[in-house]
Amino acid sequence: MKKKQQAQLSVGGVILIVALVAAQQFLGIDLLGDGEAVGTASPTINESAESRLSDSPPTATIDEPVLKPETEPTSTRQSEDAIRLLIDNEISGEMVTLEAEIVKVLPDDNEGSRHQRLLLALETGGTVLVSHNIDLAPRVPAEEGDVILVRGQYEWNDRGGVLHWTHHDPKDWREGGWIEFDGERYE
């Protein structure tokens, strides 16, 4: 029961943050007092965990929004705010857009579907691993020190988390992700 109460408190915190961000965005109020905008919010639909693991079309559940789906590049500040919210609240399953520097190119994960692995540094501290499926999308020719813009599904872990689904969905059942580098999009 205690975990359920903690989860409800986390959801309540997310709702409060979303309300504050919406007020700042739509009313032009600087609630943070720093003169900078934060991420925008809009309703999102997330798949249930069961549908992500099955071969049937996903069933959707409406969750409180964390970040507006981005089609245009996002600012580093918005990227950091969104990912930090997910990390701090141990939230998984949200599609996010993040712009960050590659601090390490790790060896490919060749078990099952092959994945290119890139470790990104967050300006707010810590790292996030990008696991990019190179059986479904082209390899990104980026190196350590390069900055990439990535859209994918965030999954929390105690090391900072993982961004996956950085590619199209071959079955067109869900929103796909991508990585942008050097003017090219890899999806």
- The full set of domain ranges for the chain reads 2-186
Is 0.85 topped by the overall pTM? Answer: no
Q: How many CB atoms lie within 10 A of CB 176?
A: 19
Model pLDDT, residue 31: 40
Report whether CATH 2.40.50.140 matches the domain 2-186.
yes
Please report which residue ranges of the chain form alpha helices under DSSP H: 2-27, 49-53, 76-88
For the cut 90, the answer to whether the pLDDT of residue 130 exceeds it is yes
Cα-based distances in Å from 114 to 39, 102, 133:
32, 19, 6
Model pLDDT, residue 158: 92
Model pLDDT, residue 82: 85
Report pLDDT digits (tens) over 61-75. Answer: 334 333 333 444 445
DSSP letter for each residue of 101-139: EEEEEEEEE-SSS-EEEEEEE-TTSSEEEEEEETTTSPP
Which one, of 118, 175, 126, lies nearest residue 148 by Cα? 118
Report pLDDT digits (tens) over 28-55. Answer: 444 444 443 333 333 333 333 333 343 4
Higher local confidence (pLDDT), 28 or 103: 103
